[in-house]
């Protein structure tokens, strides 16, 4: 457990209420498999679909009856602790090498170089403040199933606009409140035309920044930057940035600048290389 952080009890997070309403005790899936299915559905609901559960949480966080068959430990203590953190930048590793040990060892070596350059700025015993350690996802056991497929081809993240990449789902199994937070903000109470306008704008707006350490990033130094909306969908404008410059984009996002401000045209559908030359320069 992370010392000094409040741990919301089960029932104090909107996702808890979603689990209570949707857990299937008769499912043949394992607990972790069913959790992933629920997280996928949770993301797909979008901000106003999730909002119903948030409002229920604010009104009555602890239900009168908690069915014993519904697990209360789907989120670890660390996961529950970071639900209070204000961060919407994720770092996700997707390249772990091929099936042979030599390839995997080479991938680990390349990743360590990338990690040192981006997250540590070339320094030992240091971590950049703009990409919080709690939101760095690099565990092979959790991410390897999404390291190949429609979202990652030949080790290279595809970045398909409109898609919700599996590696994002895997990361959000630890932080399902990432997009909306747990504050009772004004937008939660919009209705009618005001709500429709907010939703339309949110579909086109960046809700989180995802930094992808795929094969191209690990081997060539070109990190993939994705803007995703409140449904986890990749927005059209994607960026490839040199390793040493990547953290600056996290700073920019922290200060309110979305990736789209770099684009030449609104909703431009492209994977844009910020610079020429070598990704390690």
Across the range 229-235, mean pLDDT stands at 98
What is the structure's pLDDT at 122?
Answer: 95
Q: How far apart are CA 94 and CA 82, in angstroms?
A: 22
pLDDT tens track for 33-74: 999 999 999 999 999 999 999 999 999 888 888 999 999 999
DSSP secondary structure string for all residues of 174-204: S-TTTTT-SS--GGGG--HHHHHHHHHHHHT
pLDDT tens track for 117-134: 999 999 999 999 999 999
Q: What is the mean pLDDT of the chain?
A: 95
Q: How far apart are CA 130 and CA 256, in angstroms?
A: 13
Q: CB-based contacts of 247: which residues, under 8 Å, 6+ apart?
A: 118, 119, 121, 128, 130, 131
Residues 206, 258 contacting (CB under 8 angstroms)? yes
pLDDT-based confidence at 1, cuts 50/70/90? very low
Tokens (6 digits) for 142: 């959790």
**Could you tell me the pTM of the whole model?**
0.95
Helix (H) or strand (E) holding 53: helix 31-59
Where in the chain does DSSP place strands (E)?
A: 89-93, 136-137, 152-153, 156-157, 208-213, 222-228, 237-242, 270-273
Q: CB-based contacts of 166: which residues, under 8 Å, 6+ apart?
A: 145, 146, 149, 151
Q: Which conformational region is residue 159 in: left (phi greater than 0), alpha (psi within -120 to 50 degrees), or beta?
A: left
pLDDT tens track for 183-225: 999 999 999 999 999 999 999 999 999 999 999 999 999 999 9
Q: How far apart are CA 150 and CA 130, in angstroms?
A: 30
How many alpha carbons fall within 13 Å on the CB side of residue 198? 14
What is the structure's pLDDT at 265?
Answer: 84
């Amino acid at each position: 457990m992370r010392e000094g952080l409040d741990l919301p009890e089960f029932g104090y997070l909107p996702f808890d209420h979603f689990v209570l309403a949707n857990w299937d005790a008769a499912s043949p899936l394992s607990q972790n498999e069913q959790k992933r299915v629920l997280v996928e559905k949770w993301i797909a609901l979008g901000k106003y679909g999730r909002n119903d559960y948030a409002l229920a949480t604010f009104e009555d966080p602890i239900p009168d009856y908690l069915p014993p068959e519904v697990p209360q430990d789907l989120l670890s203590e660390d996961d529950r602790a970071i639900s209070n953190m204000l961060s919407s930048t994720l770092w996700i590793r997707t390249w772990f090498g091929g099936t042979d040990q030599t390839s995997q060892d080479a991938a680990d070596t390349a990743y360590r170089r990338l990690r040192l350059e981006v997250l540590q700025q070339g320094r030992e015993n240091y971590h950049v403040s703009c990409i919080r350690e709690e939101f760095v996802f690099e565990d092979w056991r959790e991410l390897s199933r999404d390291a190949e497929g429609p979202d990652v081809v030949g080790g290279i993240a595809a970045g398909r606009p409109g898609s919700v990449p599996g590696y994002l789902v895997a990361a959000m199994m630890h932080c399902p409140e990432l997009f909306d937070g747990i504050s009772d903000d004004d937008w939660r109470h919009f209705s009618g035309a005001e709500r429709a306008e907010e939703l339309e704008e949110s579909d086109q707006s960046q809700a989180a920044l995802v930094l992808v350490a795929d094969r191209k990033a690990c081997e060539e130094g070109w990190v993939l930057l994705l803007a995703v909306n409140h449904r986890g969908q990749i927005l059209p404008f994607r960026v490839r940035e040199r390793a040493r410059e990547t953290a600056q984009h996290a700073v920019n996002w922290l200060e309110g600048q979305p990736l789209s401000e770099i684009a030449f045209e609104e909703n431009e559908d492209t994977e844009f290389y910020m610079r020429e030359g070598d990704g390690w320069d």
